[in-house]
Structures are given as structure tokens and as C-alpha cells.
Amino acid sequence: MAHISDYILWRGDLSFSEREFRIEDNLVFSELIYIDFKPVLKDRSSMSIRDAISELDSKGLLKNTRAGSVKEDLEFARYCAESVRFRNVQLVDFQDIYDSQDKQFAAVTYIIPGGPTVIAFRGTDSTIIGWKEDFMISYTHVPSQELALSYAQKHVDAASSDVYILGHSKGAHLALYSAAHLEESQQDKLLHVYLNDGPGFCPDILDKSLIYKILSKITKITPEYSIIGRIFEPPAGESIIIKSSANPLIQHSIQTWVIDPNGPVKCDDHAPESHLLNDLIERFVEGMDMGAREKFVDTLFDSMFETGASTIKEFAALGPSAFEELIMKMAGNDALNLKNKARKIKKEDDDSKGLFVRLWGLINRKQLVRISLSLLLSALCFAFPDFAMESVVFLALLIVCIYEVVLTIKHLRDSGLEFRKERPRVMMCIILLVLTSAILIKPDALFVISSMIIGIVFLSLAYQNVINFRLYPKAFDRFRSSFEGIVTVFLGGYILITPDIENSWYMLSCGMLLLIDAIFEILKMIRDRHR
């Protein structure tokens, strides 16, 4: 499959006077801004692409700042420097601003000889603060937005002809922000805005009516498996879904987007998994108020900064212990609490789902309800040890199956029976129906499935107790976490390794654990009230 490097080889012999600016040129300029031009442009106002790349290369300083960049990215830069089309384009006013506290910003203006002016903003580089800014757009303005607007105003005013504004990832976000906030007279000089898989704006932060003033000039390009470009998905006059040759997690990179001699190779729709993931991200973000979003972002990235790392690569090099410490801190963050998100969940979602979330939140909030539920389930385990497990698991599976079928039908109806878009939900329904049917037809299937579920639940509880041990340092809490953690590890491991023990043993074990948990919760409630 061909990519933008191939485009340069195909059309690089044609100058912009011979072949007008194309959407593929937007991709080239959006990718080229990731090259670190500081060593050669720090003390110069302008330089041609050929001279800049050649000097960097000769000094061994040619470097791509994008996280996850590879050696092919440097070859791409060399192709640009050698091509007739790009080599004489002037790099003007290259800016690269980094502040470990609040900003990562880079931009350059390309002056095409006898052609338009192109303002390009760099997307997120490998710095931690760059990634933090990406998250911050969910709740506030970021410093890079004002830097981008000031930069765009300066070069739109200086332009002698038409202007393009473009960027990739966060660079696309900055391109849209700056273009939307230009004065009307400046927007008259704006020929087009290209958004390459970049996030939009939180509705509480930006008045979208500003975007609609230039809507016809906006082209949005996203890969088939887009995640970043569909967060607060920005409106556009033209939307292109481009095919990528990479696996889903790497499709954000422009270097993976497929080009043929006629232009971008297009897809009819985003992948079903992309729809599903973006729906989950949207619900996660909307489930938190502005304060919770800020606390979540600050906790996440401040924890990374505390390690002394300044880039994602440096943090990753610290090894598993750094990630484990980060997870521990995030686990105690209120922004991740289900109760917080449940209060903000969208009303237009299915009512049954909202009911389940509210019930779960009630169980976590009310100690008396939790104690009562633990005691009730414990009594059932002791009273009916021979069939309680199968009955509870079958009932739960049946409820989940019915719920998922109803929810899938609703989503299919709302989407106009677009089965491709709802494929993950349909597949889940089929799996649940097969499991339920197998249980009804094969008597032993329910026992096997139930024992596996119980074993996994026990091990999950053991892991949660490890987290609780780290989060709560008081002696009572640590004793409880230690005791329940050891018991659940033993029970979960034994059930999974030895599945052919008697049914009643499972239920008696579950009943005992539930009873002990209820006792601990009663003691905790007494302690808290005494305080």
C-alpha cells in the first residue's frame, strides 16, 4: 500500500505552479512539522525545506518529535528535501515552546514560491505536558490555543495571497481554534482548514457558532479506526474517512494513511470498534463535572512528573513499578468513582442502564444496604448449598442476556438498522444467547460456567484487596484487606484449579466469605459512627 512518502515520489517532480495545492500536500505539511527544526532555525527567520533538512542531516540532528516515530519518518523528510515540489518551500517563523508546567506548542509557516501561505501546527509530541494539554481541553482553555491564535493572526495579516491552516492531532485542534477565532477580514483570506484526526472542543468551552461561520472551508480527515479525532468530534463541511495500513492502535499516524494516484483511499464508515470506543469515552467524560475532570488530569500527569520523567518514553523506561504506582494513585481518584459518573450519565441512554448504575451506586453508598445484601446472600448459600450457585448464576446470565438483547434492538432501531455499526453489540448478543442455550441443553454446562465465574470473582476481589491495602494505611483496614485478600486468593485459585469438587463446597465458601465481609462492614460502620 502507498503512503505520503510514495505521493512525494509520484508527484514530487511537479511544482505548485504546475499542480495546485492538494489534500495530500496538507498531509505532507502536517507531518513535516513534527521534525525538530530548532537546531537550524533558532537564530534564522527563514530557510528552505531543502537547506533545513540537509543541514540537520549532515550534523546528525535530524529528529522526529512525534511519540512512536520510526526511521521511515526521517526518510520521509529527506524525500521532501529532494523533491521539486517541496524543496524550495520556505520555513518561516518556526516556533517551539515548551513549559513543563502548562504548555507544549510548535508551529511553522510554509511560504510556497508564487503560491499560498500554509500555517501548520504540530500535534502532540512525546512530552508529558503535551499529552496533559490534550486531556485539559475537556474542561478548560489551554495556553497553546491562545499561542495558536496569535501566531495565525500574525501570518494571515502578513500573507500576500490565500492562506491554508492545518495540523494533525492536537495540531488540528489548534488549527480549528485559531481559524474560528480570526477576525472576519482575516477569514476572508482563509482558503481552507484541514483537520487531520484532531479532537474538537468541549461544548462548555467553545461557542460552536464560531466554527459554523467557516464550516464550508473545513475538511476533516480521520482514519477508519479513529479515536483521538472523534473526541468532542468537530463539525466540518467535508468529512473524509481514510484507509490505514496499520493495526487499529497505530492508525492515528498520518504515515499509515493509504494514498493512491487519485488521492486518499476512502472508507464508507468508521470501524464498529471505533464507534463503540468513542461512545465509551464520551460517557466517561460526560460522567464527570469540570472539577472532577481537572482533578483526574492533574492526578494522572502530576504522578508522572513526580518520577522525574519529562517524556512518555522516559516514563515508560522506568518500568512496571512506575505504572503500578500510577495505577495506585489513580485508583484513589474521586474522578474515577462510579457514583460521580452516574450522576451525569445521559438521560437519552436507555432507562434500564441508568437504573442499574443507580442501584450499584446505592449499594456502594449505603453501608446498611451492603450489609443487608451480604447477610441475605450468605443465608441463601448456607440454606441451599446444593443449587444456590447455579440458580443465582443462571438468573444473572438470563437477566444480562435479556437486557443486552433489548438494548441492541434499541440501538439498531435508532441507527436505522445499521448492522455493521452495531456489530459488537450483535456479537455480544449471539454469545450470550449461545451460553444461555448451552446451559439449558447441557446440565453440566451451568456448573462449569458457574464455577469459572465464582473463581474469577474471587481473584478479582483479591486484587481489589491488594489495592485497598495500599490505599488505606490504618491498621483495621489493612487487617481486613489482608485477611479477605488471602481468603479470596485461596478460594479463587482452588476453584479454578479443582473444578470437580462438590457443589455445596462452593456455596458454603461463598456464604462464609459474605458473612465475614458483613461483620467487617458492621465493625467499620461502628468505628466511623464512634468517630
In this structure, is residue 354 part of a structural domain? no
pLDDT of residue 502: 55
Say how many domains are in the chain.
3
In this structure, is residue 61 part of a structural domain? yes
If asked whether residues 383 and 518 sit together in one domain, one would say: yes
If asked whether residues 487 and 459 sit together in one domain, one would say: yes
If asked whether residues 247 and 385 sit together in one domain, one would say: no
User: Residue 431 carries which side chain, given as an amino acid letter?
Assistant: I
Which is it for strands 263-264 and 190-196: parallel, antiparallel or unpaired? Answer: unpaired
If asked whether residues 176 and 324 sit together in one domain, one would say: no
Single pTM value for the model:
0.63
pLDDT of residue 386: 56
Q: Which of residues 279, 297, 315 is at a domain's end? A: 279
Give pLDDT tens digits for 188-200: 999 999 999 988 8
pLDDT of residue 241: 95
In this structure, is residue 122 part of a structural domain? yes
If asked whether residues 81 and 146 sit together in one domain, one would say: yes
The answer to whether the beta carbons of residues 418 and 453 sit under 8 Å apart is: no
The enclosing H or E element of 494 equals: helix 475-497
If asked whether residues 397 and 322 sit together in one domain, one would say: no
If asked whether residues 31 and 75 sit together in one domain, one would say: yes
In this structure, is residue 71 part of a structural domain? yes
If asked whether residues 229 and 152 sit together in one domain, one would say: yes
Range of the domain at 61: 4-279
Task: Tell me the torsion sign for CA atoms 152, 155, 161, 164.
Answer: negative
pLDDT of residue 100: 60
The answer to whether the beta carbons of residues 223 and 251 sit under 8 Å apart is: yes
If asked whether residues 208 and 123 sit together in one domain, one would say: yes
pLDDT of residue 103: 74
If asked whether residues 66 and 199 sit together in one domain, one would say: yes
Q: Which of residues 243, 261, 279 is at a domain's end? A: 279
In this structure, is residue 456 part of a structural domain? yes
If asked whether residues 110 and 157 sit together in one domain, one would say: yes
In this structure, is residue 358 part of a structural domain? no
pLDDT of residue 348: 41
Low-confidence ranges of the chain (pLDDT < 70): 100-102, 125-136, 138-140, 204-205, 249, 273, 276-277, 280-305, 310-370, 380-394, 419-422, 424-425, 438-451, 453-454, 471-472, 494-507, 527-531
In this structure, is residue 313 part of a structural domain? yes
Among residues 260, 334, 322, the alpha carbon closest in space to that of 291 is found at: 334
CATH code: domain of residue 29: 3.40.50
In this structure, is residue 230 part of a structural domain? yes
Give pLDDT tens digits for 358-374: 444 444 445 666 677 77
C-alpha cell at 36: 525538530
If asked whether residues 263 and 407 sit together in one domain, one would say: no
Q: Which of residues 261, 279, 297 is at a domain's end? A: 279
C-alpha cell at 504: 455445596
